[in-house]
Amino acid sequence: MVTIQNARIQSASFRPRTEKVDTLVLHFTALDLEASLRVLRYGEVSSHYVLAEDGTVYQILEDCEVGWHAGLSMWRGKTGVNGRSIGIEIVNLDGNTRDYPTAQIEALIDLCTVIIARNPGISHRNVVGHSDIAPKRKDDPGVKFPWKELAEAGIGLWPSGAQSEVVAAQPQIQSFLEACGYPKEHAYGTRDGAYVYVFDSANPPVGVSNVVCVTTKDILRAFQLRFQPDNATGIALPSTMGLLRRLAAM
Ligand SMILES: [Zn+2]
């Protein structure tokens, strides 16, 4: 049974929720515990929970409040994931190079189980990493994150039993990615310091700069960060195709 410590937010970086919760977003903090709590309680970003390496859970926001953890984001064709999601920030300096401790993952499984029981709108497909909903812009929780172990505990999906297949053309790979929930190809930029989607990357609106195009290759790499971490290249192998088709059909 997970114990939750109160660490109530001390900034205005949240708002009341108006949409139903249907998504759970997992992150790594890239900061140690003390700095994570300081930034998320007092800064311009926030999350519902911070999970320490020893498994201690700190609650910053109530589930009925919207946090600022996802930023510019898209999942299953809908943008603005913050409004519909609960965010867990997991303390790890770099989940692409550092393992997640066992005690932390055991506590995470307990915490996710409690959150999903309280918010039955969260389907398995809607348990996501930040990199899933903001490909190219974000790469957390990283290749070291044990997604398969979570799926075996009933949290999120894992494409077990996938077989290798002939590699399809890019448009078909993109349709499989979208069937899994991933965004379509898109572009984003910054305006007044905030990220915005850009619908025509060749002609961004006035005031928008630093335009980045997110291609099928970038979105496939996000898929691989999670489901094929030993080949997070954006290049589809026959094994990648099998995983994609299996996950799309789940
Ligand atoms: Zn994140």
Would you say residue 3 has pLDDT above 90?
Answer: no
Q: Is 89 an active-site residue? A: yes
| Exposed e or buried b per residue across 209-246, where buried means at least 16 C-beta atoms within 10 angstroms of its C-beta | eebeebbbbbbbbbbbbbbbeebbebebeebbbbbbbb
Q: How far is the CA of 164 from the centre of ligand 1 (A)?
A: 31
141 CA distance to ligand 1 middle (Å) = 7
What is the pLDDT, as a whole number, of residue 46? 97
CB atoms within 10 A of CB 116: 21
Enumerate residues 6+ apart whose C-beta is below 8 A from 82: 66, 67, 68, 69, 70, 71, 73
Distance from residue 119's CA to the centre of ligand 1 (Å): 21
CB 240 within 8 A of CB 221: no
Let me know: does 157 contact 247? Beta carbons within 8 Å: yes
pLDDT tens-digit series, residues 191-237 = 999 999 999 999 999 999 999 999 999 999 999 999 999 999 999 99
In the chain the beta strands, taken as DSSP E runs, fall at 4-6, 14-16, 23-28, 49-51, 57-59, 65-67, 74-75, 78-79, 85-90, 127-129, 186-191, 194-198, 209-214
Helix axes 238-249, 170-180, angle to 10 degrees: 40
pLDDT tens-digit series, residues 143-176: 999 999 999 999 999 999 999 999 999 999 999 9
What is the dotted CATH code of the domain comprising 4-152? 3.40.80.10
Average pLDDT of the chain is: 97
* Ion ligand 1 residues within 5 Å by Cβ: 27, 130, 140
User: CATH 3.40.80.10 in the chain, residues?
Assistant: 4-152
Compute the distance from residue 25 Cα to the ligand 1 centre, in Å: 8
For the chain, what percentages of helix, strand and coil (3-state, to nearest 5) are there? 35, 20, 45
**Section 170-196 average pLDDT:** 97
* pLDDT at residue number 28: 98
Q: So what's the pLDDT on residue 1?
A: 72
Decide: helix, strand or coil at residue 41. helix
**Residue 88 buriedness (CB in 10 A; 0-12 / 13-18 / 19+):** buried
Ligand 1 center to residue 184 CA distance, Å?
Answer: 20
* Ranges of H-type helices in 85-206: 102-118, 130-133, 147-152, 170-180
Q: Would the pLDDT of 239 be above 80?
A: yes
pTM for this entry: 0.97
Distance 32 CA to ligand 1 centre (A): 14
The three-point CA angle 140-144-149 to 5° equals 105
Catalytic-labelled residue, pool 19, 44, 89, 178: 89
CA–centroid distance, 29 to ligand 1, in Å, is 7
Residue 154: the pLDDT is: 97
Return the residue matching tokens 């999970």.
Answer: 51
